[in-house]
Chain A
Amino acid sequence: MSFPPLSPAPDATQERPHRYHDGRTSTLKISQRERPYPEGRLIVSRTDLNGTITHCNEAFVEISGYTREELIGQPHCVLRHPDIPRAVYEDLWGTLQAGNKWHGYVKNLCKDGSHYWVFATAVPNRRGGQVVGYSSVRREPSRKKIAEAEARYKDMLAAEEGSQ
């Protein structure tokens, strides 16, 4: 698995070790800068069954900081922010693989180390009775919901790190 290169902005000075679901680790350079959600828009992407990005809309491309060419064919976990507990992603993929709809609040990592918050809903794409991939559609969350998610995820992260 190879990711398109991160291109940390000058303010992305915080180094954070990050372990992916496949056991691979990397050190991410991030900032605390939040990108505003594009008002009135949906951020849309689709993946195949392995989580490889097959489609992303313009809003996704713009806010991620990557080009469309950099994103298509990449694993969706390129967006993973180290502040989101692994349990959240495990719940997402477990729910989808069981054939169900998942939703939750997610902080996504941009190419330059900044981030944006979304309320994400992911659904299995069924064609002829078979699941052929997954669609994820993100909407703008309220600040109150973001604050609640941040507090919850902070506790979850602490528990995950404590168990390692």
Chain B
Amino acid sequence: MNLNVLIAPDFAPEHFAGWHMLNTLMQRKTGLSLRLLTPASASEQAQLIAEDKADIIYANPFDAASMIRDAGYVALARPIDKANEMVIATRAESPVDSFRDLKPGIKVALTDNKDVKLIGLRLLEPADLTEADIDWQVVESYQAAARLAIKGEVDACFMLAEAFNSLSRLTKAQLKPLIESKLADISHVILVHPRIEGEAAKLRDSLVGLAGSADGQPVLDELGIHQGFEAMAVEDAEFMIDLMDTLLE
């Protein structure tokens, strides 16, 4: 059986090799023929999903919600202790020291990542800022968002905390984090299409068994998912979706 494995495009580029290593390892452990799909953008990912090409997907929580509730995808596993936190940062020399000092009309750079935008907007609520108060500058990469903030061309940038932490020391030194989310319960998840639910147990067991194993742990380390994956029950996924629902208008 040939199956497509789609990886959401919002991972740090240094983990690119890790996803290929994981795919190869999972093929060996499950005996399934797995083809890795790594769309470069959210729109490319949406196109692949619309073409029904995602048999297995490492989905961001925003996409996972609709894939589970609307398309019947089944949650398999999620990375342990790796919630989708995000950072709002400004340039290091900015006179703004708190996100509460950001005012309507500010320019914010971010990638086309719905989760980051949604969580960022929720973080800015105490400052009385809404989506309409912000001049959004959508860029191709989080590095580009950081560059715009450093150059002062935007007042702040939004990015996943993992992406922020993966920036070079020099880049980070030129940025000032204003707030980091600590939501804890919202993470990427691995889902399978209902047509391959019969393979779900085998895939889940293989994923969960990677941590601490001689061949699995190096791959997890390469992915930055050092503690491995934990099995996700139906209720775990439903709970996360309920949480996401409360964050939507």
Binding site for B on A (CB under 8 A): 37-42, 44, 46, 57-58, 101, 119, 121-123, 125, 127, 135-137, 139-145
- Can you list 26 pairs linking A and B with CB atoms under 8 Å apart? A40-B123, A40-B180, A40-B182, A41-B183, A42-B183, A42-B184, A46-B239, A57-B184, A58-B184, A101-B245, A121-B246, A121-B247, A123-B246, A135-B239, A135-B242, A135-B243, A135-B246, A136-B246, A137-B243, A139-B122, A139-B125, A140-B125, A140-B126, A141-B126, A142-B125, A145-B128
**Would you give the 0/1 interface string for B85-118, flagging 1 where the beta carbon is closer than 8 Å to chain A?**
0000000000000000000000000000000000
Q: Is there a chain A Cβ closer than 8 Å to B153's Cβ?
A: no
Q: Contacts of B81 on A, CB cut-off 8 Å?
A: none
Establish whether residues B243 and A44, one from each chain, have CB atoms under 8 Å apart when the complex forms: yes
The CA of A121 and the CA of B184, in the complex, are separated in Å by 18
Task: Output the nearest chain A residue to B235 by Cβ-Cβ distance.
Answer: A127
Q: Contacts of B185 on A, CB cut-off 8 Å?
A: 42, 44, 57
The CA of A160 and the CA of B120, in the complex, are separated in Å by 38
Per a CB cutoff under 8 Å, which of A57, A125, A135, A144 touches B128? A144
Question: A-B contact count, CB below 8 Å?
Answer: 58
Task: Output the nearest chain B residue to A124 by Cβ-Cβ distance.
Answer: B242
Establish whether residues A40 and B179, one from each chain, have CB atoms under 8 Å apart when the complex forms: yes
Q: Contacts of A58 on B, CB cut-off 8 Å?
A: 184
The CA of A101 and the CA of B242, in the complex, are separated in Å by 11
Establish whether residues B243 and A119, one from each chain, have CB atoms under 8 Å apart when the complex forms: no
Q: Contacts of A127 on B, CB cut-off 8 Å?
A: 235, 238
Establish whether residues B128 and A123, one from each chain, have CB atoms under 8 Å apart when the complex forms: no
Q: Is there a chain A Cβ closer than 8 Å to B4's Cβ?
A: no
CB distance from A18 to the nearest CB of B (A): 27
The CA of A135 and the CA of B243, in the complex, are separated in Å by 8
Residues of B113-150 contacting chain A, CB below 8 A: 122-123, 125-128
The CA of A109 and the CA of B20, in the complex, are separated in Å by 51
The CA of A145 and the CA of B126, in the complex, are separated in Å by 9
The CA of A127 and the CA of B122, in the complex, are separated in Å by 27
CB distance from B176 to the nearest CB of A (A): 16
CB distance from B128 to the nearest CB of A (A): 4
Q: A141-B126, A142-B128 are in contact. Are A41 and B182 (CB under 8 A)?
A: yes
Q: Contacts of B126 on A, CB cut-off 8 Å?
A: 37, 140-143
Q: Is there a chain A Cβ closer than 8 Å to B181's Cβ?
A: yes
Q: Contacts of A143 on B, CB cut-off 8 Å?
A: 126
